[in-house]
Structure 1
Amino acid sequence: MATRREIKRDAVARVQADRAATRERRTQLKAMTPEERKAAKAQDARDAREAKASAKAERKAARAGMNRKERREDSRRARITRKVAHRRRRAIGWGVAGVAVVGIGALAAPYVGGLARVASLEFADGTVEALQAREDALVVAENVSDEGMVLLKNEGDVLPLAGDRVNVFSFASFNLLLGGGGSGGSTVAGAPTLYEALEAQGVAYNEDLYATMEDAGAAHSEGASNAFVQMAQLAMGGGSSEPAPDYLTDDVMAQAADYSDTAIVVFGVSGGEGTDLTQEQLQLSDEQVALLDAVTAHQDDVIVVINAGNQMELGFLDDYPQIKAAVWMGTPGPQGAVSLAKILTGEVNPSGRLTDTYAYDVTSAPATENLGSHRYTNTNRAFLDYEEGIYVGYRYYETRYEGDEAGYEAAVQFPFGYGLSYTDFEWAASEPVIADGEVTVDVSVTNVGDAAGKDVVQVYFSAPYLDGGVEKSSIELAGYAKTDLLAPGDEETVTVSFGVQDMASWDTGQGAYVLDAGAYEISASTDVHTPIASFTHDVGESVVYTADADTGYDYARLFEFAEGDLEFLSRADWEGTYPAGPDGTETASDEALALMDPELVPADGDAPTYGADNGLTLADMVGLDYDDPQWDAFLDQLTVEEQIHLFSYGAYKTYEVDRLGIPSMVMLDSPAGLNSLFASLEAAAYPSEIVIASTWNDALAYEVGAAIGHEADLYGVDVWYAPGMNLHRTAMGGRDFEYFSEDPLISGMMAAGMVSGAQDQGVLTTIKHFVLNDQEVNARSGINVSLSEQALRELYLQPFEVAVKESAPTGAMSSFINLGGKWAGGSDELLQEVLRGEWGFEGFVTTDAVLGGWMDPVQAALHGNDLMLAVFPSATVASMSEAIEEDPVGLGHALRDRVHAVLYSVALTDRVS
């Protein structure tokens, strides 16, 4: 069998020959008269259609005589040729966007330089090493999608497939959603289709049915690789949809029934940056329901594939007795179809588990009451209230329906952590050992079934709730572990450990975490709702934790201002405190208005030293601690203009100062594979973060980070804008695919794995978006979020805390949002007190893309945000230059601190030697 590299070389030669012939034909056409040219083009079109039909027929005939191995190689050749043919178009996509922006920017000369700077980026993506890295990345991507898919239903052991023939229905089956849209997406052009993947696994699909769907308009499409185009399509409701199944006539369905009694139906929904989804988009459309009606009327065994990065409403799986099996595949990256086919045939035993609660009604989550676009009446600012408090995801459903199993079953279809296997496991859990502030649980897992497989052990705790006291979820994830692949009869003992303090709750009144006295239940469970073994740990006296256990930094009430006058959901009175949602009369308080428009108050004292001649270059600073006194001598050498530029030029390429040996860093998105918004780059694609998390395998998260970090290092990329760590506050979040889970612990652990993997390759990371970027609507207009400090600390900050402490990321990206009126990128409480103080973070903080005046560079500099991600930095330079004249002392020293963080980070890269 030919290697991928050999196939690619042949594909390149064929594509180049075709393009040469096209160019020659264009030359011939130009030499013709208009009448001759028109006739020739018409004939060319007829010839092309005939050639395509003939080639298709020839390939079909040829494949009929091939064995499985030969068909697999033929599919690989076709896939790689398709990818090579589309590569130029993908590269041009961003070029066109760049040219369009340049055209706009040309109207204002100061903006052109900033855009040209990032558009001129070049990457070493064509080397032999780079090509090999992308080949290796496919293996990593496939390993993740193998383990990240979740078996939701399997009645009568319909899966793995018993036969080698299936009917595949739905237009969605032609174009699987392998990633999301926007800067967090990735290019998956040329990826295997579901049909190719089935054939490669030796499963024949009904080609007559396939042809019928083609005739009805179904077609394979590479999709848009341009993030701006993707976002525009989503905002306008673009993309393909399932038509009414009128094409499934009685004759068609009779032929399908004769072909096979097993059907596969694909349903999906695509999320993306810039817009959120509606409940209707997470339900089957009328046309999809009609399709299911038609299929189930003629097929006995129906397998539904859920191809979505958001929680769809899946109650229909219970409504049709013919639906025997269902697989959630998420948005699984370039090898997603391959992994799905392997799971369907049993080559891979599914071991993924859900990282979200699947409710029958997505609007039953209390957070949805405030979802959407709302504006204050006394200022043109959007707002979003987190009135649900800590009750997000399973924390709501498990607590709300505690002791009411009938109510729970009516509300929740699939619990958090749920997933089936093709084999059975038995567990033996040991009594938890509690010593030195740690809880350790050992669970022995034995495969008692007939197939090799992996299992996931989930450990939860339940804290005692005092009526009227601090709010507590009835259960919380404490830790987890995934077994190795266990053959039938094999046994493995896994260990899950967590801190006793992790069971404490934030008490805003005390400004501390409190471990209340009482009985704590610790359970080893297959999902949040299904314990296998439970144990009780008694705490005799309440314990108050007044300082961070890792850093010793004192806790304090920092975010009461963000609570406003809201009342938060309480388990003491579900009905009376349930969120009501805005009524259109909401006004911003005077305190919030003041925080939205802060004033610069000049400080007294001496301004920093500028322009000293101390004979140092940045190479002299490599390896020094952040607080080494030599940094002062080095920073004294910078001019104020250089410092302003180092702070302001933070978009994709930092500012360089040649005279001091300061090079620029190159920084790129995204969590699913490196993504250059303004310059051509070919890089590998990976599964979305929700699929990575659904593996419940920290080691695989590390592998993704390491693979992307290796690519980045080869391409000359120094900083990776990833991973994304916001929560799935609702099922409607447009970027839920780009984030891990509704749960903060698994989000933090998966992020830590990716960070460690990348940074072990020498590539810096920026954990993002810090914090509360949980809704897309109005996120880019300075939306003001109000919430309880308890919810902020226990839910939304926790993933970042876990990542900082587990993997020591070198960077962070602040978010667009305003917290209680104060922009996150200019929040001393977030960036200095919590991030650098409580957690001990050492590194740089960058903004998200600078899109509006609320992202004030002066406030960023004063309060701990080190870089402005401004594609057009001239406005930032002007603002900072004016402000530092007004406040040369306070802002001068703050700017020096910001530059210190940036240069310390530059010195960590291999740009400096």
Structure 2
Amino acid sequence: MVEYFKKRKAKKQEIIQRVKEDKAKRKERKQEITALPESERKAQIESDKLLRKEQKQERKQELKSLSRKERKEAKKEAKMYKKIKNRPRRIAGWSAVAALLLIVIVTTGPTVVSVLDNVTGKHITIDTTSTEAIKAREAADVVSEEIANEGLVLLKNENNSLPLTDNKINVFGSTAFTFKYAGGGSGASDQTRAVSLFDALKNAGVEYNQELYDYYMGLPELEEKTGNSDTGVVQVIKGMLSSGEPAGEPDITDTTLAQAKDYSENAMIIIQSDAVEASDVSIEQLQLSDEMHNLVEKVANNFSNVTIVVNAGNTLELGFVEEYPSIQSVIWVGTPGPFGTNSLAKALSGELNPSGRITDTYVYDITSSPASENFGDYKYENLDKAYLNYEEGIYVGYRFYETFYQGNEEGYNQTVQFPFGSGLSYTTFDWNIVNQELNSDSIELQVEVTNTGEVAGKDVIQVYYTPPYTPGGIEKSAINLATFEKTKSLEPGESEVVTIQYGTREMASYDMVNENYILENGTYQIKLGKNVHEIDSAVNFELSQDIVYQTDDATGTEYKNRFTQSENELTVLSRNDWEGTYPSDEDDIKVATDKIIERVQGHEYNDDVEMPTTGADNGLKLEDLKGLDYEDPLWDEFLDQLTVDQMINYVTDAAYHTIEIEELGIPNTVLMDGPAGFSFFFKQFEAGAYPTEIVMASTWNKDLAYKMGETIGQEAKAYGIHGWYAPALNIHRTPQGGRNFEYMSEDPVLNGIIGSGMAKGAEDQDVTVYMKHFIMNEQETNARSGILVWSNEQAMREIHLRPFEMTVKEADVTGAMSSFTYIDGKWANPELLNGMLRDEWGFEGVVSSDAVFGFMEPQKAITSGNDLMLDILSVTKNRDLLEEAYDERPEAITVGLRNSMHNALYATLKTHIFN
């Protein structure tokens, strides 16, 4: 073993040197290209790109000629190279936190008081001890376990090995004692009531090997950690300090193994990954460590019925389960909240029949997606900013794999292990389309679902569509999720007719050339799938001529391209030329153009406005406006009463609360994280705790999503909370995203349906829902120093904006949280926050920033549509910035402040505080 580590260290040093040399060559080449005349530059870029693609193909051919052992070693070396190349990202993340701590240390005077108030939560007054609060938590616990039950996914079950026949099991691995109930950061939740895995097994009547348990508990490096949970900020710092290496695993002795074999042929191993806000996940953390692989091998070679449990919010590489025939079953539990262990134990015993479906594509190699080519630490050489190119376009997740491998089943099966939407049951179901109505307005199917097995269970009908595609035309995925429905629990032999309906318009594609949405004529295949790849049946919808949509269906606002100002040279992936357009970070010219620099550093103020009235005495209180429309004239009379100082104080001091303005009847409000149950980043308090959003989405249950939001809303009222920083609607762009546990899936429609259900449930309880992070916040590396995200309009509209649009229109949300990202070269982009969100979609309500960092300037925010600053450390600084901006541009700043107050107070009036 010592020799192994010596060799590994030597190989690592060799690769580090190679990375340095390659980096120097790339820099030299970029300088050469930058120095060329513009007319020659593009040709050289294309020439270099072609050369790299040829080299890549040569490497692939070389790999094929190697033996399996040599190929495995070569792939391992390639992954180590990529990891070392992208290593700066953890350092970058830690630097942001170090900068924050430095601010706290050097701050003096009134700012210290402000910082301490924000960090200690002194201004947040909630009551978690009342009878109503206790009842609300009890209700939350019931819903939490219901979500965990329905979110559990059975991915493999050879020979019906589950449920267990003798209810005895050996639990191997230290991971059983460090079960992951939730993620870390703002998406963390209260785990003080968490049920340990071993208590859950007892509860379900499953006997576990006590001697094996005692062996692990006797190891000095191991202790059971059930119910222990740090605050969000501590989790973030721990995550940033971690090495990015997978956790080790203690060895198992031959004696212990023999005793376990005598106990039962059933064995279970839990595999995990760590993920936390502010840190992305390394490729190695999504693979088995050498030590864990040794444990799997030992157990698989000694037991006939092995179950692997996936306890992770990120997509792991699971190819190893096919190496051993004895691995009969795989169960995905995600990060299932405090009662998820109960769900797992009940699934083992047969008390629970799994009905969840995965929300991501599981592939053998997580780097095989095009998005993974542009993930990591990328910085401009002439601009103090990081950037990220979304060169994959619309081909995220299954949209890539199903389109790229269309007609190549062998290639698909070698790449994809578990398709998006996969999930098994202990029973079987038969589907029969009993009625269909397909027209230019709506697609409606009635499907009779019959339980043809021997135990009760629920089924999920997934509806996809395949649109007509013209090579060289608008980009279209070979298949897209349209909607889904989940049945009630059906007894053996019982049937239910499920009605499935969605608008035909929802199949339209965005045409960037003509700046509209279009349903192109041709055949649309409407498919009923067990998952995205296993299609049960299909019907055709024929469209004889194009249908063009020029305006938004909700507001009538005319469509236009809104994000085209960057002139950033992107090669966006196209199915018309996979090889010529496949992403590569080697293509980057890391020199920001003058236009990019100007957009990042500049800001357009609207100085052509009249100075509004301020400080008037009109005798109005906020409650006098309750029930009035956003555009009601009385709002102007009320807003005329606000002074500039009052408005500046209000918008800058808005971290987890808004301040009171007593003389105008404006109350203090309390705003809380998080997507898996209420939490405060800096201190713990008792609250309902739910599975993370990925598990909520894996239920594929619309009613349960609404129920979660409703229960959280009821808890908010019991505590005196008025705003909820959730749901999180960003997609899983790659498996490495540090907040994937906090987000729902790789698919925008699934995110939109589940997210809008959660949002509507809470909004119906008169709680302001701050859907987040608006938009394209799918990477933690460099996020908190401001990262420029480049994409194209079609991908932004169809993938990244879609869940937010659905939630605005279906849940009528009154709040949003903007992201850290610079969209099209602008943080707090006015085309995004005013043009898209408010004008095009018709959103009426408040936009808060995410936690404020140095690049997020309030004067730019309030004149661009971002109303509140979630300001933890820099309230005084941001007040000063607004006052300076007011001195220079009094009209523009006053109008911006007034609009922000209007938006924020309109949302406040809709909360339960005024009931």
Query: TM range, normalised to the smaller chain?
Result: 0.7 to 0.9
Shift of 1:580: 1.3
Partner residue, 1:112: 113
1:301 positional shift: 0.6
Find out whether 1:235 has 2:254 as its counterpart: no
- Asked if 1:250 is matched to 2:246, the reply is no
Distance 1:907 1:377 in 2: 48
Is 2:165 aligned against 1:135?
no
TM superposition shift of 1:133: 1.5
Residue 166 of structure 1: SS of its match in structure 2?
strand
Cα distance in 1 between the residues matched to 2:567 and 2:459? 41
Q: For each residue in 1:83-117, what CA deviation from the matched residue of structure 2 results, as whole angstroms up to 9, or x when unmatched?
A: xxxxxxxxxxxxxx9x9999737635324225325
Report SS of the residue matched to 1:468: coil
Distance change >3 Å, CA 170–CA 343, structure 1 → 2: same
Give the partner amino acid of 1:653: H
Partner of 1:180: 183
Match of 1:538 in 2: 542
Do structure 1's residue 905 and structure 2's residue 907 form an aligned pair? yes
Q: What is the Cα deviation at residue 549 of structure 1?
A: 1.6
* Whole-angstrom distance in 1 between the partners of 2:899 and 2:291: 58
Please name the residue that 1:336 is paired with. Answer: 340
Whether the aligned pair in 2 keeps the contact of 1:592 and 1:822 (CA below 8 Å) is no
Q: CA deviation at 1:240?
A: 11
Partner of 2:654: 650
Equivalent position of 2:876 in the other structure: 874
Q: Are 1:581 and 2:585 an aligned pair?
A: yes
Distance of 1:749 and 1:777 partners within structure 2: 28
Per-residue CA shift, 1:789-822, capped at 9, x if unaligned? Answer: 1000000000001111110011000000001211
CA distance in 2, matches of 1:582, 1:644: 45
Residues 186 and 225 in structure 1, CA contact (< 8 A), matched pair in contact too: no
Residue of structure 2 equivalent to 1:201: 204
Corresponding position: 1:669 with 2:673: yes
Deviations 1:697-756 (A, max 9, x none): 011111111111111111111000000000000011100000011000110111111111
Q: Are the equivalent residues in 2 in contact too, given 1:374–1:584 (CA < 8 A)? A: no
Read off the aligned partner of 1:778 and give its amino acid letter.
N
**Alignment correspondent of 1:751:** 755
Amino acid at match of 2:716: A
| Aligned counterpart in structure 1 of residue 852 of structure 2, from 846, 850, 853 | 850
| The one of 522, 525, 534 aligned to 2:526 | 522
- 1:304-353 per-position Cα deviation (integer Å, ceiling 9, x unaligned): 10100011000011111010011000000010100100111111100000
Q: Per the alignment, in what secondary structure is the counterpart of residue 741 of structure 2? A: helix
Matched residue type, 1:319: E
Letter in 1 for 2:686: E
Distance of 1:271 and 1:161 partners within structure 2: 31
| AA matched with 1:534 | A
User: What is the CA–CA distance in structure 1 between the aligned matches of 2:336 and 2:737, rounded to whole Å?
Assistant: 18
Q: 1:638-676 CA deviation, whole Å, 9 max, x = no partner?
A: 111111112212111112211111111110100001011
Q: Is the 8 A contact 1:458 1:479 kept in 2?
A: yes
Q: Please show how residues 135-154 of structure 1 align to structure 2 within 5 Å.
A: 135-154=138-157
- Equivalents in 2 of 1:615, 1:679: separation in Å? 40
Q: Distance in 2 between the 1:213 and 1:305 partners?
A: 18
The one of 563, 569, 576 aligned to 1:572: 576
Contact kept in structure 1, 2:244 and 2:285, CA below 8 Å: no
Alpha-carbon distance between aligned partners in 1 of 2:104 and 2:729, rounded to the nearest angstrom? 35
> Whole-Å Cα distance in 1 between the matches of residues 414 and 786 of structure 2?
38
1:360 counterpart residue number: 364
Structure 2 matches for 1:275-294, cutoff 5 A?
A: 275-294=279-298
Deviation at residue 605 of structure 1 after TM alignment: 4.8
- CA deviation profile, 1:403-426 (whole Å, cap 9, x unmatched): 000010011000001100000000
Contact 2:245-2:285 within 8 A present in 1 as well = no
How far apart are the structure 2 equivalents of 1:403 and 1:103?
A: 58
Could you tell me which amino acid in structure 2 is paired with residue 261 of structure 1?
A: E
State the SS of the aligned residue for 1:753.
helix
Where does residue 91 of structure 2 map in the other structure?
Answer: none
Amino acid at match of 1:230: Q
Q: Which amino acid aligns with 1:807?
A: A
Are 2:836 and 1:831 equivalent residues in the alignment? no
Question: What is the CA-CA distance between 1:586 and the residue it aligns to?
Answer: 1.3
CA distance in 2, matches of 1:190, 1:534: 46
Match of residue 321 from structure 1:
325
After superposition, what is the alpha-carbon deviation per residue over 1:10-48, rounded to whole angstroms, capped at 9, x for unaligned? xxxxxxxxxxxxxxxxxxxxxxxxxxxxxxxxxxxxxxx
Following superposition of structure 1 onto structure 2, how do residues 126-525 of structure 1 map, counting pairs within 5 Å? 126-216=129-219, 217-221=221-225, 222-237=227-242, 243-246=248-251, 248-430=252-434, 432-435=436-439, 437-525=441-529
Residues 429 and 524 in structure 1, CA contact (< 8 A), matched pair in contact too: no
TM-score by length of 2: 0.87
Corresponding position: 1:814 with 2:818: yes
SS at match of 1:395: helix
SS of corresponding position for 1:560 = coil
Change (3 A) 1:469 1:404: same
Partner SS state of residue 863, structure 2: helix
Q: 1: CA distance between counterparts of 2:440 and 2:545?
A: 17
**Aligned alpha-carbon RMSD (Å):** 1.8
Contact 1:121 1:679 in 2 (8 A): no
CA–CA separation in structure 2 for the residues paired with 1:910 and 1:724: 23
Describe the SS at the equivalent of 1:737. Answer: coil
SS in 1 for 2:476: coil
**Is the CA contact 1:377–1:585 (under 8 Å) kept in the aligned structure 2?**
no
CA distance in 1, matches of 2:608, 2:430: 69
Whether the 8 Å contact between 2:717 and 2:912 is mirrored in structure 1 is no
Aligned equivalents of 1:856 and 1:320: distance in 2? 56
Q: Which amino acid aligns with 1:883?
A: A
Q: In 2, distance between residues paired with 1:280 and 1:130?
A: 43
Report the secondary structure of 1:267's partner residue: strand
Q: 1:375 to 1:101 in 2, by over 3 A?
A: closer
Q: Which amino acid in the other structure matches residue 664 of structure 2? A: L
Q: How many residues align?
A: 812
1:125 corresponding residue in structure 2 = 128
Shift of 1:550: 2.2
Determine if contact 2:274/2:285 at 8 Å carries over to the other structure: no
Closer, same or farther in 2 for the Cα pair 1:431/1:208, shift >3 Å?
same
| Gap runs ≥5 in structure 1 | 1-96
Offset at residue 598 of structure 1 (A):
1.4
Residue in 2 aligned with 1:63?
none
Are the structure 2 counterparts of residues 880 and 600 from structure 1 closer, same or farther at C-alpha, using a change threshold of 3 Å? farther
Q: 1:834 to 1:671 in 2, by over 3 A?
A: same
Q: Which residue of 2 aligns with 1:48?
A: none
> Which range is displaced more, 769-778 or 832-841?
832-841
* Local SS of the residue matching 2:585: coil
Q: Shift in Å at residue 219 of structure 1?
A: 1.6
Q: CA deviation at 1:903?
A: 1.3
Is the contact between residue 192 and residue 229 of structure 2 (CA under 8 Å) also seen in structure 1? no
Q: Distance in 1 between matches of 2:867 and 2:650?
A: 9
Any conservation in 1 of the 2:248–2:289 contact (CA below 8 Å)? no
Using the TM superposition, give the Cα deviation of residue 249 of structure 1 relative to its aligned residue in structure 2, in angstroms: 2.1
Distance 2:912 2:184 in 1: 32
Determine if contact 2:173/2:249 at 8 Å carries over to the other structure.
no
The residue number in structure 1 matching 2:50 is none
The 2-side partners of 1:895 and 1:661 are apart by: 18
Letter of the 1:537 counterpart: F
